[in-house]
Amino acid sequence: MTLAVYPGSFDPITNGHLDVIAKAVRLFDEVRVAVLHNPSKQPLFSLDERMSMIREVVSVWPTVKVESFRGLLAVYAHDVGANAVVRGLRSVSDFEAELPMAHMNQRMNDSAVTVFVPSSLQYADISSSLVKQIAMYQGPLTDCVPASIERALRAKYVGGNA
Ligand code: PNS
């Protein structure tokens, strides 16, 4: 049985993330979306909000589960017995940032292989931070996030407040 963890902040999950999950579902028996709980960061959405938003949009895939983790990804991946860590790549600069992390994670846990999944071209410009900026100024989010995530973003920025 192959188990991949797909870690991230997911603040919020985007169509780019879902595109990576759809690809990972084809490669692995189980995919665990692992939401980072980082108490030193102030996300827009709480950990519980992010997890329930993700659960709603991944419910179409029976082999996808949603969990949270704190601390080192390599330790979490070891503890759950993951064969792979999935990371999406939108650009060469993503790769430059991701490769040192993959090497360091491999040093700490060589049983989980980092698998880079190239984003589909139509999602290469989408990031959670850009989505939040657009939402803050009531801009269009068509094709960037699922409808339920757009509603959650609009509710956060109601009245034009950050
Ligand atoms: O969605 P993001 O913010 O790009 O995800 C980054 C994430 C969560 C994968 C990365 O920050 C991470 O693995 N954090 C856990 C702490 C850790 O293991 N750091 C060492 C990496 S070599």
CA-based R_g, the chain, Å? 16
CA 75 – CA 125 distance, rounded (Å): 31
Share of the chain above pLDDT 70, in %: 98
In the chain, beta strands by DSSP E: 3-8, 30-36, 64-69, 84-89, 113-118
Residue with CA closest to ligand 1 atom 20: 72
Q: What's residue 160's pLDDT?
A: 59
Whether 73 is in the pocket of ligand 1, judged by its Cβ within 6 Å, is yes
Confidence of residue 161 (pLDDT cuts 50, 70, 90): low
Pocket test for ligand 1, best of 20, 40, 101, 126 (most atoms within 8 A of CB): 101
- Residues 6+ away with beta carbon under 8 Å from 52: none
Q: Residue 99: pLDDT band by 50, 70, 90 thresholds?
A: very high
Atom of ligand 1 nearest to the CA of 34: 8
Rounded CA separation 84/86 (Å): 6
Query: Residue 145 corresponds to which tokens in the numbers above?
Result: 């996030």
Q: Whose CA is nearest to atom 13 of ligand 1?
A: 73
Q: 15, 30 in Cβ contact below 8 A?
A: no
- Mean pLDDT of the 5-13 span: 98
Q: Ligand 1 atom 3: the closest Cα is on which residue?
A: 9
Please tell me the distance from the alpha carbon of residue 87 to that of residue 65, in angstroms, as a whole number: 16
Active-site annotation holder among 17, 23, 87, 132 = 17
Question: Measuring CA to CA, which residue among 40, 46, 60 is closest to residue 10?
Answer: 46
Amino acid type, 123: Y
pTM of the predicted protein model: 0.97
Name the closest-CA residue to atom 6, ligand 1: 8
End-to-end CA distance of the chain: 44
Residue 159: DSSP 8-state: G
Task: Please work out whether the CB of residue 27 comes within 6 Å of at least one atom of ligand 1.
Answer: no
Give the HSE-up count for residue 109: Cα atoms under 13 Å, Cβ half-sphere: 21
- Residue 117's φ and ψ, nearest 5 degrees, are -110, 115
Establish whether residue 36 lines the binding site of ligand 1, counting it when its CB lies within 6 angstroms of any ligand atom.
yes
